[in-house]
Amino acid sequence: MLGAIAGDIIGSVHEGAGTKTRDFPLFTPASTFTDDTVLTVAVAEVLLEGGDFIDAFHDYFHRYPDAGFGGIFRQWAAARARAPYHSFGNGSAMRVSPAGFAAGSLAEALELAQRSAEVTHDHPEGIRGAQAVAAVIQLARFGATKTEILTEVEARFGYDLSASLEDIRPHYRFDVTCRGSVPPAIIAFLEADDVEAAIRNAVSLGGDADTLACMAGGMAEAFHGGVPSALREAVLTRLDPDLTRVVNAFRARHALP
C-alpha cells in the first residue's frame, strides 16, 4: 500500500490547487500524509490484527484529528457514532488499497472492500467505488493485463474508461464522489508505465489530487510489483513510528516489496 500512501503525500500540496501538469516536484517541504494515509493504515491494521472497522476509524481519527478529514466523517468519528451516513464520496475508495493487497481472490477483495466501506459509505456508489479500486489492485497483483483489468472494471462496475487523460484533463474539476473520481484514477493508472507516472497522471487532472493519486498509486504498485526504493524511502521518512509499524507489518505479512 506504499504506492497509495506515496500518492497521498505527493498529492497533498496539490489538493485544491488545480494543477494541470505532470511536471512538478514530487516532494516539497510541505508534503505530508493526510486522512487518506491515516485511514488506509487503519484498514491495514484491522486486516492484520482483527477488530472492527468502526472502532479503528474512530481511534485513528482521535489520534490524528488534524489530518484533513472530511466534515461529515469528522462529525461521525468525533462522536464515535456507530451508524453509517450513506455517503457516496471517495473516502471509501481512498482507504481501501490494503483490501486489494490482502485478498487472495477477486471475491475476497470485493467482500473486504464492502466491509471497510459500508461502516460509513453505505450508499451503493460508495461501496462500488471501494470495490472497484480493490478489484483493480487484486487483479493487478495476480498478473492481469491492463486490458483484462479495464474489461473487468467496465463490465462489473459500469464505469466508462474509454476517455483518455487528455480528454478528461481540460474540463475536470474537484470532485469527491466515487463516480466522479474513481474512473479518472483508474485511467491515470492505466496510462502510466510506473508508479511515479501514475501519481503524476492523477495529480495532473487538477481535482482532489491527494485522493486521486492515492488510488492511482496503489493500483500502480500492485501492477508494477512494488514501489521503487527511492520513492519508498521518501515516503517512509514522512510517516510517524506508529504508522510505519503497521505499514511494515502489513508489507511483511503479504510479502510486499
CATH 1.10.4080.10 applies to domain 2-252: yes
Rounded Cα–Cα distance for residues 86 and 180 (Å)? 17
Cβ–Cβ under 8 Å, residues 223 and 195: no
User: What percent of the chain shows pLDDT beyond 70?
Assistant: 100
Task: Give the three cell numbers for residue 186.
Answer: 483508474
pLDDT tens-digit map of 176-225: 999 999 999 999 999 999 999 999 999 999 999 999 999 999 999 999 99
pLDDT tens-digit map of 40-93: 999 999 999 999 999 999 999 999 999 999 999 999 999 999 999 999 999 999
Task: Give the three cell numbers for residue 19.
Answer: 494543477
Q: What is the DSSP string of 133-198?
A: HHHHHHHHHTT--HHHHHHHHHHHH-----S-HHHHGGG-----BHHHHHHHHHHHHHT-SSHHHH
pLDDT tens-digit map of 17-34: 999 999 999 999 999 999
Using a 10 angstrom Cβ sphere, with 0-12 exposed, 13-18 middle and 19 or more buried, the burial of residue 252 is: exposed
pLDDT at 231 over 90: yes
Closest CA to 201 of 215, 211, 216: 216
What is the pLDDT at residue 64? 98
Distances from the Cα of 246 to the Cαs of 1, 16, 179, 184, 242, in angstroms?
A: 11, 29, 30, 29, 7
Task: Give the three cell numbers for residue 171.
Answer: 474540463
**Res. 105 pLDDT band, cuts 50 70 90:** very high
pLDDT at 257 over 90: no
Mean pLDDT of 159-182: 97
Cβ–Cβ under 8 Å, residues 201 and 20: no
